[in-house]
Structure 1
Amino acid sequence: MTEIVHVSAPELVTYADEMAELLVETVEEGSSVGFLAPLDRETAAVWWRARAAAVESGEVAIWIAREGCRVAGTIALVRAPLPNARHRAEVAKLMVRPSARGQGLGRALLAAVEAYAEVEGITLLILDTESGSLAEQVYCKAGWTEVGSVPGYAADPAGSLKPTTFYYKELTGP
């Protein structure tokens, strides 16, 4: 059974090694999530632990999908920092283990973020993903609207520049 859990800063530190394993697997299989290959587990774990301060301050919220004792997926919500943008946030780092894909975990993680955002009074979510990736299907099925694509926006794990597609979703609020 899969459980979606909103993690606190101390829990993030506790799960950092498992989340590092997920991040390394995601990069190894070619997903563009901000890191270049090869990515070692310690570097990935340090990156996750460094997010704890932002979680503690409320700038970032993170969820994990747990299958038993194993982290099978993760997603983050990054609040906009400026006063005129408090109504919006960015969805980031949606990752599902390659072995757990196709079971609805990505959609469940996305739904958890959307529900949380509505309760928090966030009315606009944005995200970006590599153009042509399988993630685009998840976002389209979840009702996200494509804004457009920017060529050469980010490098894939192999270092090749790829286009990125931007999406948004309007929420109704609490």
Structure 2
Amino acid sequence: MPPDSSRAMAPQFDNAHFRRALSQFATGVTVITTRLEDGSFVGLTASSFNSLSLQPPLVLWSLSNAASSLPVFTDNSHYVINVLSAGQNALAEQFARRGIDRFAGVEYTLSRTGLPILKGVSAWFECHNRSRYPEGDHVIFVGEVEECEAYPQPGLVFHGGRLFDTDAGPI
């Protein structure tokens, strides 16, 4: 029987061990986009996306407290979650890089609120930034989905520290 306690026991592992264990859970890959006040776009790669509720339609994702874009996503009223499809590994890598124009050469259309929806994605969700919850070294964002679209096709998956096309295997 586990101890009866209102607090978690200290972990018996280091960060590297925890990361290795987490990497065994395959996730989809997304690019989350929004807009700055000056009209320029911000986007980042995230694999921490999940569905939360059907009524109301809610999704969640998380962002590191150390991310330079945290204030932008915290303060903006809307963002778009773009679910990458197989073959979009270059986009995942581009939006994960620092110090570059992440939108250079990227094809997109604009959502109803003027946010980038990337071309060729499997699905997208335009969300109202409903709530944020600081937890550990991340902030959990809950988005209320105002609009979405699906284009059924194989997805891009992250597993074991690598990207995989669900229809072609490891990249």
Which has a greater percent of helix?
1
- TM-score of the superposition, structure 2-length normalised? 0.29
When Rg is computed on C-alpha atoms for both structures, the one with the higher figure is 2
- TM-score of the superposition, structure 1-length normalised? 0.29
Which has a greater percent of strand?
2
